[in-house]
Structure 1
Amino acid sequence: MELGVINYGGGNLRSLVRALEFLGVQPRNVSKPEDFEGLTHLAFPGQGSFGDSMRNMEERGLVEPLKEWLEADKPFFGICIGYQLLFEGSEESPETPGLGILEGKVERFPADMGLKVPHMGWNTAQPTDPADPIWKDLEPDPYFYFVHSFYPHPLDSDVIASTTDYGFPFASSVRKGNLFATQFHPEKSQHTGLQLLKNFLQ
C-alpha cells in the first residue's frame, strides 16, 4: 500500500500523519501532480475556507489529478475541508465552484436556531448502514470530534454514510464506492478515530 496525503497549503496535516504513523503507515506528501504516481490510497485532511482551499489546489495543479483519482473510484478518505470540497459549491465562498464529485452544496448552520457556531466538540455519528466495513469494531453511534461552521447537504441521500444531530440531523459522512469522507476529525478522535482510519486502510 502507498498512501498519499494531499498537502494544499492548509492546516492540520500533521495530526493525520501522526495518526497514520501510529497505525504503521508512512504516508507520502502530495503537493504536486506527479506525487500521485504509484499511490494506492489517498487522504485529504485540512482546515480552512472553501474558497482559499480550492484556489490553493488550483495553484498547485492538484484539482485535475484529484478529479481523475475520484472518478476512477480509487480509495479516498476526505476530512473536514477535504469532505466539503467534494461538493458543487459552498455558501462560505459562493463564487468558487467545488470539485463537483457529489451533488449538493455546503451550507452554514442557521443563525435563527440558537446554535453555537462553530459546532465544536464531541458528538455522535449514526451510521446509515452499520454493517458497512468502514464501521467495523466501532461502538454503535460512535463519538467523534467536530469543529465546523458549515456542513454539506448531499442531494443524493444514498451517499450519506452517517448523520449527526446538531439542532437537526446533517450528513456527517458520505460513502460512494471507495470514496469515504467525514465532517468530523478521526485524527483527533482518539481510539475511535484510529479504528475508522484502520478500517479505511484495510
Structure 2
Amino acid sequence: MITIIDYNTCNVGSIQNMLRKLGYDSLITNKIEDVNKAEKLILPGVGAFDKGMQNLKSLGLIPVLNQKVQNGTPILGICLGYQLLSKNSEEGGIEPGLGWIDAETIKFRFDNTNIRIPHMGWNTLQNTQKATLFKGISDDHRFYFVHSYFVKCNDPNIKAADTDYGGNFTSAIEKDNIFGVQFHPEKSHKHGMVVLKNFAEYKN
C-alpha cells in the first residue's frame, strides 16, 4: 500500500488515479496512524514552502514522518513536497524544511529577462542513467514542470537528474530511501507513469 499524504496543498486524486492505472493500491490520508503504518509514502504539493510546512506541523505529521524516514520507509516528494525535503527556502523563510537532504530551496533569478518565471511546461531531464526512478527512461523524454523555486543540492552524490532552464538545476534526487522530483509525474503522461512505477517497485 502506498500512502499519499494529503496536507491541503494539492489535488492528490490525480496521483492516486495514476497509481490505480498502474495497478497499485494507495491511500490518501492525513492521519498520523495511517502514516505510521505506511509501507511507502508520497509527499506531493504545490504552493508556498512555509504554508506546506505549517500544514504538516498543524496536522502533527512531522514527528511520524521523521521516524518513518529514519527507519527506512521509502518516500517520494513531488514539486513542493520535493522542496520540503530540503533544509530551508528563500520563499517566506519562516519555517525550516524537513532537512532530510543537504540542500536549500532557491528562487530562480535570470539576467535574461526573456526567461519566464515560473518555469512552466514541458522539459527534459539529463544525467538520469544511474537513478532508480528513471529506469527505462532516456534523457530526451519530457516531463511537466510548474515552479518558481528550485532545490540547490550541497551534496552532489544525491543528484538523480538535472534540467536546463536558464542553466542546470537539480530536478530530482535520490538518497537511500528518500526520493524527490521537481516535475509532476502525475501530469507527465506515460513517462510520469514509469517514474511512479519505479518508485512503487523500489525495494530497499
TM-score of the two chains, using structure 2 as the length reference:
0.93
In structure 1, the partner of 2:52 is 53
Partners of 1:181 and 1:49 in 2: CA distance: 17
- Most deviating of 17-26 and 146-155: 17-26
- C-alpha displacement of 1:177: 0.8
Structure 1 unaligned segments of length 5 or more: list them. none
AA partner of residue 13 (structure 1)? V
Cα deviation code 1:134-164 (max 9, x no counterpart): 2222123421100000001011011010000
Q: 1:133 to 1:11 in 2, by over 3 A?
A: closer
In structure 1, the partner of 2:103 is 104
In structure 2, the partner of 1:72 is 71
In structure 1, the partner of 2:182 is 183
Q: Contact 1:126–1:142 (CA<8 Å) still a contact in 2?
A: no
Q: 1:96 to 1:131 in 2, by over 3 A?
A: closer
Partners of 1:126 and 1:15 in 2: CA distance: 26
Give the total of aligned pairs: 200
Partners of 1:22 and 1:145 in 2: CA distance: 19
Q: 1:67 to 1:16 in 2, by over 3 A?
A: same
**Structure 1 runs of 4+ with >3 Å offset:** none
SS in 2 for 1:102: coil
Partners of 1:55 and 1:44 in 2: CA distance: 14
SS in 1 for 2:111: helix
Q: 1:131 to 1:102 in 2, by over 3 A?
A: closer
SS in 2 for 1:43: strand
In structure 2, the partner of 1:118 is 118
AA partner of residue 85 (structure 1)? L
Cα deviation code 1:167-200 (max 9, x no counterpart): 0100000000121110000110000000111011
Counting only pairs closer than 5 Å after superposition, residues 17-166 of structure 1 correspond to structure 2 as 17-114=16-113, 115-128=115-128, 130-166=129-165
Q: 1:93 to 1:132 in 2, by over 3 A?
A: same
- C-alpha displacement of 1:82: 0.7
Partners of 2:131 and 2:58 in 1: CA distance: 37
TM-score of the two chains, using structure 1 as the length reference:
0.94
Q: CA RMSD in A?
A: 1.3
